[in-house]
């Protein structure tokens, strides 16, 4: 499966700067692990760069489009936990991602992501 969205292409190429260039300055990021959304490109960049170090064997396996919304389906693992998820990318009129929502299943996979993120942030 080839990915067409510029964010997905950049992520799969390990081009972190290219991926971050697709974010709007006022992007809102909704994490599956915390209730409150993260606001602003600088904050979201820090989170996405950290997440990139948490996932192992990350790959996008499917992609759907509806207007300015793209859904990227991914698979990865964190330690011994396999997980699946989706990135919902909603673009503004300039074609930049203004809303970025992540969903992860199963619960044990999400818990592994949350634990690892907390540990790397020094919160665990």
Quick: pLDDT tens for 86-124: 999 999 999 999 999 999 999 999 999 988 888 877 765
Q: Is the pLDDT of residue 1 over 70?
A: no
CATH code where residue 59 lies? 3.10.450.50
pLDDT for 124 equals 54
> Considering the domain boundaries, does residue 68 fall inside one?
yes
- Residues whose CB is less than 8 angstroms from the CB of residue 18 and which lie 6 or more positions away in sequence, other chains included: 6, 9, 10
> Which range marks the domain in which residue 63 is found?
6-120
Q: Is the pLDDT of residue 71 over 90?
A: yes
Is residue 80 a part of any domain in this protein?
A: yes
- For 115, counting Cβ atoms within 10 Å of its Cβ (0-12 exposed, 13-18 middle, 19+ buried), the class is middle
13 within domain boundaries = yes
Residue 23 counted as domain residue:
yes
Model pTM score: 0.92
d(CA 97, CA 118): 25
DSSP letter (8 states) at residue 37: P
Domain tally, the chain: 1
């Amino acid at each position: 499966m080839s990915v067409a969205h510029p964010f997905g292409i950049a992520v799969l190429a390990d081009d972190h700067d290219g991926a971050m260039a697709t974010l709007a300055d006022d992007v809102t990021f909704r994490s599956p692990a915390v209730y409150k959304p993260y606001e602003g490109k600088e904050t979201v960049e820090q989170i996405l760069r950290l997440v990139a170090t948490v996932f192992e064997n990350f790959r996008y396996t499917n992609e759907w489009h509806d207007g300015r919304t793209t859904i990227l389906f991914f698979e990865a693992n964190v330690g011994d936990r396999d997980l699946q998820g989706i990135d919902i990318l909603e673009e503004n009129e300039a074609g930049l991602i203004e809303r970025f929502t992540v969903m992860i299943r199963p619960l044990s996979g999400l818990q592994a992501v949350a634990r690892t993120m907390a540990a790397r942030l020094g919160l665990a």
